[in-house]
Amino acid sequence: MSKIGNVMVTVVSLAWMAWAGWDQFANLPQGTVENHSSDTVKERLRDCSGTFKQRYECKNQVVIDTDRTSFFNMLGRIAIVVVPPMLLAGGIHLWRRRSDDDGPSDDLLSQSHRRHHRRRTSSHH
């Protein structure tokens, strides 16, 4: 593939990343990323009751669950932005390797021809 092909893959990848990045991060829906000060988390923390230990464990679990959910939400959004260009680049790379491997080089072709020619001439003697 030529330099033009490389430029095309780069342009398509950058365009995808710009569009998908804007789409995924410009207007995050409510609740996608929460922290300890968000209203939803504060409500869940208020629902914790019982002894001091039980309240502490409940609040700790709410914080851990909130952080985990926010992390996976953001990871999914980042994957939507980054993975398709990576797959495109990887696919193009594999396609190039495959096309390079399919056609024998002139050197390999001449070696094969010489071996074949030797076998044919040596068996007729």
Please answer whether residues 61 and 44 qualify as being in contact, where contact means their C-beta atoms are separated by less than 8 angstroms: no
Each residue of 73-90: pLDDT tens digit? 999 999 999 999 999 999
Place of tokens 């094969």: 112
Q: Is residue 55 very low, low, confident or very high in pLDDT (cuts 50, 70, 90)?
A: very high
pLDDT at 112: 56
What integer best gives the mean pLDDT of the chain?
83
What is the reported pTM? 0.67
pLDDT at 109: 55
Each residue of 108-123: pLDDT tens digit? 555 655 555 555 555 5
